[in-house]
């Protein structure tokens, strides 16, 4: 619709596209992509401005604007205190003012008086004269500084994102190393446990063996005792029998004595009885001897059985038990060492996982930078829109002098009004100067954490 | 464990802080501006702590604090500002509105948890109120 210099509707949004992409990239976590896009966006915006300035009627601003379009705008626009007469970047600036006559050719003459007026009433909304020459004159340095400020903002964004990205990468690295330490600790412990537990399995077998032995041994003792008791019980009727034998022997002996007495009284006729009596007496003696022998035999058997039992209980059994007890002691010691290793590992893993958890939390907290960057970029976008729309107004005024009345010169102070953080004000002040009345309200920042 | 309400228009902020606070064992609910923050208190009940942004579309953080302090249940509940803004003038405004403290974004997880230790009522006291 507008011929010549004005090609605005498109450019107004051009920087916003890569910026939006950059924001998306942030959200997706593609830091380098986002940085690149943010850079592209800044570059676009500035080349856009350059184009706008270049196409501005008659102003020799093409050079001025073209210069601040290096391949990597945010870096190049480091918001260091820019000496007013613009050392390297803008030898054009003062010249622009000098060369003003050309843009405004005819209008300038009429504009002169109104320039004086506006200077008195500035800074403030100033209805310009019916031609924008004075407005242009006044606004050009402002616009140059506005671009510097916006670039400064983008530089801080780049710093923010670099810092955040480095923080995230650093913390991820630390998390990785902590996880590595956990893995190492677990490996070490599991090796120790493995080396012990092959022995440990054997010890478990030992314990089972001990149990079985104790069971077996208990049974064995019972068997031994009951067998001994059975033997002793079996000898009791034998003793009774030997008593009977002795009784028989005694009575037989008495019988033999009586027979001998009777034989003596019968004289010659009793001689045969006497022989029988002697034989019976001999039998009685033999019977007694047999009973004594049986008694001795029983005693010997009982004694032997008891001795045998005692032997069984003491010698080999004790040796075996001793060995088993030794095994038990070793097993217990191994279990103790296992517990020591496991508790040490537990401690180590606890410490490390606590550290990892802290790092993870800090990484999550680090995402906050996105909010800060978002606000800064929004402010930059806003500033660019303001610049573009101001140029649109100028363009319209050039074509239609009746529109010129509504144009006011570009005011840096307008940009400052929406700042929400100290770094924004700082960048602004570094370029615009605090005392110039163009800066933000003087920074009066409190501590990062304050309790009321 | 405390019940914490986060009020911020940035979903990234909400996501980040919620993750940190939940990892620290707290129960977290979120709202995207001051008006919704008040609604959250009215619907879900009194929290142990509110952390709010300053600049939000809709109702800003300081206005929300002023409104919340009118509720009888919220008179003593700690409310922290967490914002990119660090100017004294705004701090004074928040203090007058009834804010408990002021944190400048970004806040590290360590600092945030230390602040919580300080402002959260002890478990017993929380139950008493």
> Over the stretch A129-152, which tens digit does the pLDDT of each residue have?
455 677 777 777 787 788 888 888
Rounded CA separation B125/B117 (Å): 14
Q: pLDDT grade, residue B123 (50/70/90)?
A: low
State whether residue B101 sits within 8 Å of chain A by CB.
yes
Q: Are A302 and A231 in contact (CB under 8 A)?
A: yes
pLDDT at position A202, please?
57
Within chain B, what is the greatest distance between any pair of CA atoms? 37
CA count, 13 A, side-chain hemisphere, B124: 0
Q: Tell me, yes or no, if A421 comes closer than 8 A to chain B by beta carbon.
A: yes
* Contact criterion met (CB < 8 Å) for B86 and A445: yes
pLDDT at A370: 83
More confident residue, A229 or B90: B90
Buried b (16+ CB within 10 A) or exposed e, B26-56: bebbbbbbbbbbbebbeeeebbbbbbbbbbb
CA A39 – CA A45 distance, rounded (Å): 10
Please give the residue that has the higher pLDDT: either B90 or A316: B90
CB within 8 Å: A370 and B12: yes
In 3D space, the residue among A307, A383, A355 whose CA is nearest the CA of residue A149 turns out to be A383
Cα–Cα distance measured from residue A416 to residue A379, given in angstroms and rounded to the nearest whole number:
10
Contact A60, A92 (CB under 8 A): yes
Per-residue pLDDT at A107 exceeds 50: no
As a whole-number percent, the residues of chain A with pLDDT over 70 amount to: 61
Q: What local confidence, expressed as pLDDT, does residue B44 receive?
A: 93
Q: What was the pLDDT predicted at B51?
A: 96
Q: Do B12 and A374 touch (CB under 8 A)?
A: yes
* Neighboring chain B residues of A361 at a CB cutoff of 8 Å: 19-20, 23-24, 109-110, 113
Q: Is B104 within 8 Å of A364 when comparing Cβ atoms?
A: no
| Per-residue pLDDT at B60 | 94
pLDDT, mean of residues B123-129? 43
Do B105 and A368 make contact, defined as CB atoms within 8 angstroms?
Answer: yes
In this prediction, what percent of chain B has a pLDDT beyond 90?
74
Residue A197 C-alpha, separation from nearest chain B C-alpha, in angstroms = 37
Is pLDDT above 50 for B20?
yes
Residues 6+ apart with CB under 8 A from A79: A148, A149, A151, A152, A155, A156, A427, A430, A431
Phi, psi (deg, nearest 5) at residue A81: -60, 115
Q: With 0.80 as the threshold, say if the pTM is over it.
A: no
Domains annotated for chain B, with CATH where assigned, are 3-124 (3.40.50.2300)
Task: Note the ipTM here.
Answer: 0.86
Interchain pair B118, A366: CB under 8 A = no
pLDDT at A86 over 90: no
pLDDT at A386 over 60: yes
Residue A207's pLDDT is what?
66
Over residues B53-81, the pLDDT tens digits come to: 999 998 999 999 999 999 999 999 999 99
> How many helices (H) and strands (E) would you count in chain A?
12, 1
- Most confident range (mean pLDDT) of A26-35, A225-234, A344-353 is A344-353
Q: What average pLDDT does range A87-92 have in this prediction?
A: 40
Which of A175, A357, A365 to probe by mutation at the B interface, max B CB count within 10 Å? A365
A24 CB within 8 Å of a chain B CB:
no
> To probe the interface with B, which of A376, A419, A449 has the most B CB atoms within 10 Å?
A449
pLDDT of residue A49: 47
The answer to whether the Cβ–Cβ distance between A452 and B111 falls below 8 Å is no
Question: How close, in Å, is residue B119 to chain A by CA atoms?
Answer: 9
* A351 or A210, which is more confident: A351
Is residue B107 within 8 A of residue A368, CB to CB? The reply is yes
Report the pLDDT averaged over residues A13-36: 48
């Amino acid at each position: 619709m507008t011929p010549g210099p004005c090609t605005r509707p498109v450019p107004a949004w051009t920087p916003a596209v890569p910026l939006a992409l950059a924001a998306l990239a942030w959200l997706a976590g593609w830091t380098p992509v986002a940085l690149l896009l943010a850079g592209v966006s800044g570059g676009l915006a500035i080349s856009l401005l350059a184009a706008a300035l270049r196409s501005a009627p008659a102003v020799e601003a093409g050079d001025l604007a073209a210069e601040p379009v290096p391949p990597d705008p945010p870096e190049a626009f480091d918001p260091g205190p820019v000496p007013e007469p613009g050392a390297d970047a803008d030898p054009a600036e003062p010249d622009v003012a000098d060369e003003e006559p050309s843009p405004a050719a005819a209008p300038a003459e009429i504009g002169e008086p109104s320039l004086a007026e506006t200077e008195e009433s500035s800074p403030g909304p100033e209805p310009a004269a019916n031609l924008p020459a004075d407005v242009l004159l006044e606004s050009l340095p402002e616009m140059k500084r506005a671009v510097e400020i916006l670039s400064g903002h983008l530089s801080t964004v780049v710093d923010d994102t670099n810092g955040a990205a480095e923080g995230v990468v650093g913390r991820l690295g630390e998390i990785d190393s902590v996880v590595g330490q956990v893995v190492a600790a677990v490996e070490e412990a599991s090796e120790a446990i493995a080396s012990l537990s092959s022995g440990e399995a054997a010890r478990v077998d030992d314990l089972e063996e001990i149990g079985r032995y104790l069971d077996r041994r208990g049974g064995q003792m019972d068997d031994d005792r009951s067998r001994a008791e059975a033997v002793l019980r079996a000898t009791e009727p034998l003793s009774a029998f030997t008593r009977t034998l002795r009784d028989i022997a005694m009575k037989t002996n008495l019988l033999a004595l009586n027979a001998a007495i009777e034989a003596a009284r019968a004289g010659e006729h009793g001689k045969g009885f006497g022989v029988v009596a002697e034989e019976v007496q001999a039998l009685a003696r033999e019977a007694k001897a047999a009973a004594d022998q049986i008694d001795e035999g029983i005693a010997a058997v009982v004694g032997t059985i008891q001795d045998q039992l005692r032997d069984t209980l003491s010698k080999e059994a004790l040796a075996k038990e001793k060995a088993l007890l030794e095994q038990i002691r070793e097993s217990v010691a191994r279990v103790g060492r296992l517990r020591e290793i496991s508790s040490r590992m537990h401690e180590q893993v606890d410490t490390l996982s606590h550290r990892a958890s802290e790092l993870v939390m800090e990484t999550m907290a680090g995402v906050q930078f996105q909010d800060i960057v978002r606000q800064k970029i929004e402010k930059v976008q806003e500033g660019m829109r303001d610049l573009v729309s101001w140029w649109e107004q100028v363009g319209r005024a050039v074509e239609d002098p009746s529109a010129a009345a509504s144009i006011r010169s570009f005011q840096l102070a307008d940009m400052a009004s929406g700042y929400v953080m100290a770094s924004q004000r700082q960048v602004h002040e570094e370029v615009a100067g605090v005392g110039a009345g163009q800066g933000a309200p003087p920074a009066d920042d409190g501590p990062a954490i304050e309790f009321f | 464990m405390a019940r914490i309400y986060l009020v911020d228009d940035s979903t990234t902020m909400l996501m980040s802080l919620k993750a940190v606070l939940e990892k620290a064992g707290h129960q977290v609910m979120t709202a995207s501006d001051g008006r919704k923050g008040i609604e959250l208190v009215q619907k879900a009940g009194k929290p142990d702590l509110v952390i709010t942004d300053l600049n939000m579309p809709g109702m800003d953080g300081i206005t929300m604090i002023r409104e919340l302090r009118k509720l009888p249940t919220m008179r003593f509940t700690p409310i922290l500002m967490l914002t990119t803004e660090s100017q004294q003038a705004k701090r004074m405004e928040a203090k007058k509105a009834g804010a408990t403290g002021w944190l400048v974004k970004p806040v590290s997880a360590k600092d945030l948890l230390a602040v919580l230790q300080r402002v959260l009522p002890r478990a017993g006291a929380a139950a008493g109120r």
